[in-house]
Structure 1
Amino acid sequence: MKMEFDTGYRKGNFGRSSLPKKPNEIMRVLVTIAVGMMFGFFIGVSFPSLSLTKLNITTALIHDFVIIGDKSTANSTQDTASTSSSSSNQVTTDVSKIWVPSNPKGAEMLPPGIVASESDFYLRRLWGKPSEDLTSKPKYLVTFTVGYDQRKNVDAAVKKFSENFTILLFHYDGRTSEWGEFEWSRRAIHVSARKQTKWWYAKRFLHPDIVAAYDYIFIWDEDLGVEHFDAEEYIKLVRKYGLEISQPGLEPNRGTTWQMTKRRGGQDIHKVTEEKPGWCSDPRLPPCAAFVEIMAPVFSREAWRCVWHMIQNDLVHGWGLDFALQRCVEPPHERIGVVDAQWIVHQTVPSLGNQGEAEDGKAPWKGVRQRCQKEWEMFRNRMENAEKSYFKSLNFTRNT
């Protein structure tokens, strides 16, 4: 049926627009309306017999709507579908019944196949296929806690690590954009929080499930000389001797350090040493064995999972942690060692100490050092108290 609305005045046509239609035209209009109504009636009657599950374009949309919408809607829709379905291979799910206790805490309501409990620092593109984002996957992670003033030293250190390493910089001075002058900075991860330590960063950004993709994790200071260090060769030695926690040997003629961490010439690694009389109650315990310092430690994935849980949120300097690392591997005097063949120099630059604030007329670094010593005592006390509480609970259980 075609209808015209003429709002203009056509020449010689003014009077005709008001004339009544002929009887045969009216009949044609009525017949057309009747046929349309009958066609619509038959379509309406036959439509419910069509199965929506066979319409591919709507199935996914309906399923998503049911999950996102009200649970009562989801249940009623699924009940109807299960009642009307006669196909043996058609699966109807009730998402409200999913409960998987073996899933990570908080994810029990998810089907296990969708749970992504671990992550990594691999950079991804904003375009293309996700499966084609990565040309390679680094197997190791190295982190440096840095200030821009030490950029030349950090640049030299980073260049000792191949593309098998993900580079992660923690910026304690808030200056991140300036590092763009180095080519490798484009593929590095930059995390900035002013006046924080590497153990503060490690606790918050290196959760074991975040770094699970990496076999070894290097957590290093910024003031390390690496002229005699090769990261790939270091990894080979660590694997060869089965070290779960390690560090490079330190140049023995530079600064003060523990006997255990001093480099020994003519050998690959060492695991034990002799200290001053009375310092070691057991030759297989720190500082005579099972001991590395916190300036340049290297952890296996498994060891780091334990160490991360031992790091305290408020004890940010990590002092005392090196004496407790032996709790995270078994046996510690066999799995913790110093790699002599790949050694470094501790340049003892007080850069982080200068980030402190002067109090009572004292230099900024003095306040930082006092807190370090205080944290060491606090950590030791917490560990002792935790042990006592644990063994006390065991005794109480046995008595009851």
Structure 2
Amino acid sequence: MIKNPNECIKILITVSIGIVFGFFIGLSIPSLQSTKIWTPSNPRGAERLPRGIVVPESDLYLRRLWGLPSDDLPRKPNYLVTFTVGYDQRNNIDMAVKKFPDSFTILLFHYDGRTNEWDEFEWSKRAIHISATKQTKWWYAKRFLHPDIVAPYDYIFVWDEDLGVEHFNAEEYITLVRKYGLEISQPAIKPNKIAPWKMTKRRNNSEVHKETKERPGVCSDPHLPPCAAFVEIMAPVFSRDAWRCVWHMIQNDLVHGWGLDFALHKCVDPAHEKIGVVDAQWIVHQTVPSLRNQERQRCKREWTIVSARMDNAEKAYYKSLMSSNLTGQR
């Protein structure tokens, strides 16, 4: 038993100092049993990394295996063009690729599994080749053109293999797209065997057009597809920002893309001003036969499905919005 009160006070003071000192020592030593969350604003899965090391975006630039990383790219391409191809269309693709200068990254999606044969073309050595047999353009786009991968490119061309490009110049096309502020666009189509939509048909003595007149009853609104804010899915061109939205709209299980052209306007605002057709740079849709009856039936079915999904999503959104407003008024 401690009889001296002074000794009690000394012991209490000593214990208190020890507790405080231990507390601050504990703060200064990182815990070995838990991982620090650096910042919740990091991309999902990277919350435990310090922000300075996080690289949320990538690119499709080809790199060397030697030398310094800073010497890999004397010039970074500003644009990306993709073609979904089979070897039988190699000569047409050869002519098309030659329309795109070094400011473009060339990306070929091979649906027939034949990639090595393309080495007969000099440009093939600087192109990127991705192969998955019997897949469609939009299947590839959803899996290999994530917005965080194509972020370095100002514009992304997502094109078919059967386009005649004799009257097309890629650099002049980009100039016109910038001039008219187009976020989603396509070259005009010169009618061939199959007439295009009126909106995408080439007009003489015009650089760009953004609207058209259809038959009575075709368009519910002159600012909506197919009278305006409309391009077809055979040769669309997207700005970086527009593609970030469009990519999220592409349905993972719907691969033909039918119906997308009637929904693209939801990704830009005002759509009737930022979606247009470039008449001065026009192409020919050669319509190489590729769809069998079963595939065509699926295309039509997908169009119905994507339209229904879009309608249901919008109805659910407006229902939720109205519910929130009613709750706020109570």
1:385 matched residue in structure 2: 312
Task: Give deviations 1:147-169, integer Å, cap 9, x for gaps.
Answer: 00000000000000000000000
Aligned residue among 292, 300, 314 for 1:373: 300
Aligned residue type for 1:202: A
Q: Relative contact order (C-alpha < 8 Å, sep 6+): which is higher?
A: 2
Could you tell me how far 1:396 is from its partner in structure 2? 2.2
Aligned residue among 210, 219, 232 for 1:293: 232
Rounded to whole Å, the distance in 2 between the matches of 1:316 and 1:216 is: 22
Q: Does 1:121 align with 2:60?
A: yes
What's the secondary structure of 2:77's corresponding residue?
Answer: coil
Rounded to whole Å, the distance in 1 between the matches of 2:61 and 2:153 is: 11
CA contact (8 A) 1:254 1:345 kept: no
Aligned residue among 80, 97, 104 for 1:165: 104
1:257 matched residue in structure 2: 196
Task: Give deviations 1:323-382, integer Å, cap 9, x for gaps.
Answer: 00000001000000000000000000023x2xxxxxxxxxxx011100000000000000
CA contact (8 A) 2:192 2:285 kept: no
Rounded to whole Å, the distance in 2 between the matches of 1:97 and 1:223 is: 54
Aligned residue type for 1:209: D
Q: Percent identity?
A: 74
1:236 matched residue in structure 2: 175
Larger mean CA deviation between 161-170 and 125-134 belongs to 125-134
Q: Does 1:227 align with 2:227?
A: no
Task: Give deviations 1:19-38, integer Å, cap 9, x for gaps.
Answer: xxxxxxxxxxxxxxxxxxxx
Pair 93,230 (structure 1): closer, same or farther in 2 beyond 3 Å: farther
Rounded to whole Å, the distance in 2 between the matches of 1:261 and 1:396 is: 40
What's the secondary structure of 2:99's corresponding residue?
Answer: coil
What's the secondary structure of 1:108's corresponding residue?
Answer: coil
What's the secondary structure of 2:269's corresponding residue?
Answer: coil
Could you tell me how far 1:398 is from its partner in structure 2? 2.7
1:282 matched residue in structure 2: 221
Rounded to whole Å, the distance in 1 between the matches of 2:130 and 2:36 is: 41
Aligned residue type for 1:306: C
Task: Give deviations 1:53-74, integer Å, cap 9, x for gaps.
Answer: xxxxxxxxxxxxxxxxxxxxxx
- Bigger-Rg structure (1/2): 1
Could you tell me how far 1:250 is from its partner in structure 2? 0.3
1:181 matched residue in structure 2: 120
Task: Give deviations 1:275-307, integer Å, cap 9, x for gaps.
Answer: 111101111110000000000000000000000
Mapping of residues 200-215 of structure 1, within 5 Å: 200-215=139-154
Alignment TM-score, normalising by the size of structure 1 = 0.73
Q: Does 1:142 align with 2:63?
A: no
Rounded to whole Å, the distance in 2 between the matches of 1:237 and 1:153 is: 25
Aligned residue type for 1:293: E
CA contact (8 A) 1:247 1:297 kept: yes
What's the secondary structure of 1:137's corresponding residue?
Answer: coil
Could you tell me how far 1:96 is from its partner in structure 2? 3.0
Could you tell me how far 1:93 is from its partner in structure 2? 10
Q: Does 1:198 align with 2:125?
A: no
Pair 159,221 (structure 1): closer, same or farther in 2 beyond 3 Å: same
2:259 matched residue in structure 1: 320
Q: Does 1:151 align with 2:90?
A: yes
Rounded to whole Å, the distance in 2 between the matches of 1:332 and 1:380 is: 18
Structure 1 unaligned blocks of 5 or more: 1-78, 84-91, 354-364
Task: Give deviations 1:96-145, integer Å, cap 9, x for gaps.
Answer: 33421111111111111111110111000111111111111000000000
Aligned residue type for 1:197: T
Could you tell me how far 1:253 is from its partner in structure 2? 4.4
CA contact (8 A) 2:38 2:51 kept: no
Structure 1 segments of 4+ aligned residues over 6 angstroms from their partners: 92-95
- Aligned residue-pair number: 302
Q: Does 1:266 align with 2:193?
A: no
Rounded to whole Å, the distance in 1 between the matches of 2:104 and 2:139 is: 22
CA contact (8 A) 1:101 1:108 kept: yes
CA contact (8 A) 2:83 2:160 kept: yes
CA contact (8 A) 1:234 1:342 kept: yes
1:335 matched residue in structure 2: 274
Aligned residue type for 2:229: A
Rounded to whole Å, the distance in 2 between the matches of 1:298 and 1:213 is: 15
Q: Does 1:105 align with 2:44?
A: yes
Larger mean CA deviation between 188-197 and 386-395 belongs to 386-395
Aligned residue among 157, 162, 184 for 1:218: 157
Could you tell me how far 1:393 is from its partner in structure 2? 1.4
Structure 2 unaligned blocks of 5 or more: 1-24
Rounded to whole Å, the distance in 1 between the matches of 2:125 and 2:59 is: 17
Pair 254,270 (structure 1): closer, same or farther in 2 beyond 3 Å: farther
Rounded to whole Å, the distance in 1 between the matches of 2:298 and 2:192 is: 28
Q: Does 1:394 align with 2:318?
A: no
Aligned residue type for 1:311: I
CA contact (8 A) 1:246 1:299 kept: yes
What's the secondary structure of 2:84's corresponding residue?
Answer: strand
